[in-house]
Amino acid sequence: MRTVPIGNFVVGDEQPLVLIAGPCVIEDEEKTRSIALYLKNLTQEMDIPFIFKASYDKANRTSGEAYRGPGFERGIEILGAIKDDLKIPILSDVHRHEEIERAAEILDVVQIPAFLCRQTDLIVEVAQHAGVVNIKKGQFMAPWDVRNIIEKVLSRGNDRILITERGTSFGYNNLVVDFRSLPILRREGYPVIFDATHSVQLPGGQGTASGGQREMVPYLVRAAAAVGIDGLFLEVHPDPEKALCDGPNSLYLESLPDLLEIVKTIDDSVRKTKSTTL
């Protein structure tokens, strides 16, 4: 498996599991910074490589009236300041071509949103500018079809790729995780991340907003760590009930230490007894 350097650590192969975590969207600078600082301190204490994530614009909200974030200019400014001040790598998603070049100057990882993972022009433009590309596998895609997205990124000479599993559409307003997807994705030779919080989302489940089942996140996290992953993606918030986006599937910040301790234990055990088929 290829390894992908990010900041002062490496993702993939036999490297420690990385945590990608943060709020769904930037609500304001103070709250976003406080979440990033909490996560930085927690992961340093637990010796877990960490990438902070937050969106500056959630362009795929269920309702046109839903909060989307501060927008590109202010949002990328906030993320850049957090990166510089806290000395942590940053991930965010891009939806518009005109944002890519500037975003790639700030972001350590540029994310292809799941709903846009088949948009060829967007993908190749991101690949051309980004240091690292995180491909969110679309809810509508089979795991083996991700190979086509990888080829699009490689066509621009960029092989610094992460692949993120985030569940598969299962009827209406529901997602399910097929854990066979994780080893299938890993066979492509790139680090695989498991997005546990989006995997319990109920898309459009509240009519004008998505619902979620955050109580199921710990079960999926433990299962994914047991199967074998290179990183974990979690949306977190100090008070998910009041979050402006993805609250029903976001975890309480205070629940993270215990969950991460369990994940580390499982991950360490899996790496010691790793199957040659993974």
Residue 276's SS3 state is: coil
Residue 93 in contact with residue 113, Cβ under 8 Å? yes
Contacts of 124 (CB under 8 A, 6+ apart): 152, 153, 155, 156
Question: What's the pLDDT score for residue 205?
Answer: 81
What are φ and ψ of residue 135, in 5° steps?
-95, 115
Assigned token pair, 40: 């930085």
| pTM for the whole structure | 0.96
Residue 90's SS3 state is: strand
CA distance 103 to 108: 9
pLDDT at 165 exceeding the cut of 70:
yes
Residue 90 in contact with residue 46, Cβ under 8 Å? no
CA distance 239 to 157: 42
CA distance 24 to 197: 10
Assigned token pair, 117: 């993972």
pLDDT at 61 exceeding the cut of 90:
no
CA distance 230 to 221: 12
Question: What's the pLDDT score for residue 271?
Answer: 87
pLDDT at 62 exceeding the cut of 90:
no
HSE-up (13 A, CA, CB side) for residue 156: 21
Assigned token pair, 68: 């989307």
Assigned token pair, 1: 């498996």
HSE-up (13 A, CA, CB side) for residue 171: 5
Assigned token pair, 94: 């891009």
Question: What's the pLDDT score for residue 26?
Answer: 98
Question: What's the pLDDT score for residue 38?
Answer: 98
Residues 224-272 have pLDDT tens digits of: 999 999 999 999 999 999 999 999 999 999 999 999 999 999 999 998 8
Residue 19 in contact with residue 11, Cβ under 8 Å? no
Of 110, 34, 104, 32, residue with least CA distance to 70: 32
When the candidates are 1.10.290.10, 3.20.20.80, 3.20.20.70, 3.40.50.11540, the CATH number that belongs to 4-272 is 3.20.20.70
pLDDT at 3 exceeding the cut of 50:
yes
CA distance 247 to 61: 13
Q: What is the CA radius of gyration of the chain?
A: 17
Alpha helix locations (H) across 112-172?
120-129, 146-154
